[in-house]
Structure 1
Amino acid sequence: MENYSPYMTFAKEEWAKLRFNTPMTLTESEIQELQGVNEELSMDEVSNIYLPLTRLINLYITGSQQLHSITDTFFGKNTNKVPFIIGVAGSVAVGKSTTARIIKALLSRWPNHPKVEIITTDGYLYPNATLEKKGLMNRKGFPESYNTRALVDCLIKLKSGAKEVKVPVYSHLYYDIIPNYYETIEQPDIVIVEGINVLQTPRPAKGNLPSVFVSDFFDLSIYVDASENDLLRWYVNRFKKLRSTAFANPKSYFNRYANLSDEEAVKTATSIWNNINSVNLERNIEPTKNRADIILRKEEDHVITTIKLRKI
């Protein structure tokens, strides 16, 4: 029986050919700066995976701009251009932030949309004081720990063509929202919204009215995928590396972990994964994978080996 799927699947060798003549605009040193704590990002992967990906995204954006022009023609007037919004989802430790940074760096060098911004959903976590009051500190990262309404309001403003949108900032050092501090986004061409929760669907609104999803505002969505065994290993390795870097800062929320032995670090990180991240992955994150337009599948060495593209 024929295997029906809403996706076209490409091995990395097939996908690499779709780069065509797209020029490499990043240097080796720039790529090294973009990679995560526990990742080794090669020039080959950027060339073979991310250049074809950003070429495709650029074509989508061009199509969106043409549609905007057609709409202006229909109304007989110029309307405000709104940003093309890309969602990047996936588990803790899968490398979403690196993916978002590479896409931003490459897209920002295309001539027709130089202004690219990243919004991380960490900024829309409730403050620790609120989470503690609600008994949610051990469920940080679960859907209920986010102020989704505020994130939706931000996306509404962006898609309404607002001149300025203020975005709250999260500190990984303090493991908390920075009070009364915001970054201002001013009329970007592209916005990348990165976070574990961006493809999740909220509970039905009161009165059974339709809920508004964060993903309703996306023009394109990407899910970064990997097996849980690999995710756990990457999480533990990252935790071990952070002992001598971020955790070593006396102001760090996780400073108490800085002097753990390797054995203690593995035990602690594995416990955190099993009790929090694994549960969130199984219940809330992985079920959203097939809502994405593009799925990037990573294997044990953090290299993307398969790309799935939703059929149009």
Structure 2
Amino acid sequence: MTEASLNYEVFDRQVWQKFGQQDHLDLDQSLTPTVLSKLKAFNDQISIDEVNVIYLPLVAYIKMQYGQYCQMRQARSTFFNQKQVDSPFVIGIAGSVAVGKTTTAQLLQYLLQAEFGNEEVALVTTDGFLRSNSELEAMGIMDRKGFPESYNMAALLEFVDAIKDGEPEVKAPRYSHDVSDVLLDEYDVFKRPKIFIIEGINTLQASPDAPVYLSDFFDFSIYLDAKTDLIEHWYLDRFVALLNQTAQMQDPTNFFYEWTQMPFDQAVQQAREVWNTVNYPNLRDYILPTRERADLILHKTVGHVINEVWLRKF
């Protein structure tokens, strides 16, 4: 074990896949390679074998945690002689850009919906709680987009607080990666699902303005981990794929359009500079230091293959 894993029990693929087999979901052949390709994020990689080996045991574990959560909620209500208010079980998913958070979040949502129902498992990303580009420019921190100060953490904390309070309806602002900005007056509305998945690079971070972590509201948290040079490779690989896609679309409103108007090598060099000056410092200084706050760490290697699962001991 590495020093970072001292608080965790580490399982390799061969051991992990044996857990919870009696609770593995019968997907009734619904999760075909075609369906899986729609669940994964753009240019990400995942296989049916990865689902069977890693994600089915993980879903079985989450189901166990959810059952214990419901029992504890009932016991608490009984102890205090209070009427129980339904409060969603909240799962947080964190990690660097380009590490595969979106794929993990969407796949978990699909698998949990197969168990609990489509309306009972919701998913939201923290991207919608970024300050708008106009706000960031006015604050002079456009080059710090994605760093802690670029989020409206007060609004995000209010959102998750409303979720845990069991509010009958909550709404989250929408974000478009096509234009790389928050969409004005557009929201996703959620009506008290049983399970709420919140995904984003900042889901395990403290608020700059309050002595509270977003993860304080979570009932289970996951961190997607990989060596930094691998994440950089995935980031640049995704950039090239997006560049090629945008070049075919020829849509001037697309965020990547301006890069299609310059020589390919120059565009890739600029993307590498963005990694070195923005994404890597953000990972090093703010994202990676929160890894050990997670209940479970999925460690990836070449090809986005998860080779180890780290589960917190206590």
- The normalised TM-score by structure 2 is 0.92
**Range with greater deviation from structure 2 (83-92 or 69-78):** 69-78
CA distance in 1: counterparts of 2:116 and 2:279, whole angstroms = 40
Please name the residue that 1:245 is paired with. 245
Task: Report if the CA contact (8 A) 1:239-1:265 is conserved.
Answer: no
Distance in structure 2 (CA, Å) of the matches to 1:131 and 1:204: 17
CA distance in 2, matches of 1:186, 1:195: 21
Report the Cα distance in structure 2 between the residues aligned to 1:159 and 1:113, rounded to whole angstroms.
20
SS state of the match for residue 183, structure 1? strand
Aligned to 1:148: 153
Instruction: Name the SS of the counterpart of 1:18 in structure 2.
Output: coil
Aligned pair partner of 1:100 in 92, 96, 105:
105
SS, match of residue 302 in structure 2: coil
Residue in structure 2 matched with residue 66 of structure 1 by the alignment = 71
1:80 Cα offset (Å): 1.0
1:191 is aligned to 2:196: yes
1:20 Cα deviation from its structure 2 partner: 0.9
Q: Please state how far the C-alpha of 1:76 moved relative to its aligned partner.
A: 4.1
- Whichever residue aligns with residue 265 of structure 2, its letter is E
Count, aligned residues: 306
Q: Which residue of structure 1 lines up, in the alignment, with residue 8 of structure 2?
A: 7
Relative to 1, partners in 2 of residues 1:35 and 1:167: Cα closer, same or farther, differing over 3 Å? same
Instruction: For 1:131 and 1:279, locate their aligned partners in 2 and report how far apart those are by CA, in whole Å.
Output: 18
- The residue type paired with residue 293 of structure 1 is D
What is the SS of the residue equivalent to 2:36? helix
Deviation at 1:260, TM superposition (A): 4.4
How much is the aligned-residue C-alpha RMSD, in angstroms? 1.9
Distance 1:306 1:196, change over 3 A: same
Correspondent of 2:57 among 52, 56, 59: 52
Change (3 A) 1:127 1:113: closer
Distance 1:298 1:164, change over 3 A: same
How far did residue 111 of structure 1 move?
4.0
1:12–1:304 CA contact under 8 A, matched in 2:
yes
Q: Hey, what's the Cα distance between the residues in 2 that align with 1:128 and 1:115? A: 33
8 A Cα contact 1:24 1:47, kept in partner? no
Partner of 1:287: 289
SS in 2 for 1:109: helix
Deviation at residue 67 of structure 1 after TM alignment = 1.3
Alpha-carbon separation, structure 2, partners of 1:162 and 1:218: 16
What 5-or-longer segments of structure 2 have no aligned partner? none
Residue type of the alignment partner of 1:215: S
Query: Does residue 166 of structure 1 match 2:160?
Result: no
Counterpart AA for 2:121 = V
CA contact (8 A) 1:257 1:265 kept: yes
* Unaligned residue ranges in structure 1 (runs of 5+): 206-210
Q: Deviation string for 1:18-43 (max 9, x for gaps)?
A: 14131352222211111122222100
CA distance in 2, matches of 1:143, 1:77: 38
Q: Please report how far the alpha carbon of residue 262 of structure 1 lies from its aligned counterpart in structure 2 after TM superposition.
A: 4.0
Q: Secondary structure at the residue paired with 1:244?
A: helix
Distance 1:239 1:50, change over 3 A: same
Residues 1:82 and 2:84 aligned together:
no
Q: CA contact under 8 A between 2:25 and 2:115: conserved in structure 1?
A: no
The one-letter code of the counterpart of 1:244 is N
Deviations 1:126-148 (A, max 9, x none): 01111001111111000000000
Range with greater deviation from structure 2 (249-258 or 185-194): 249-258
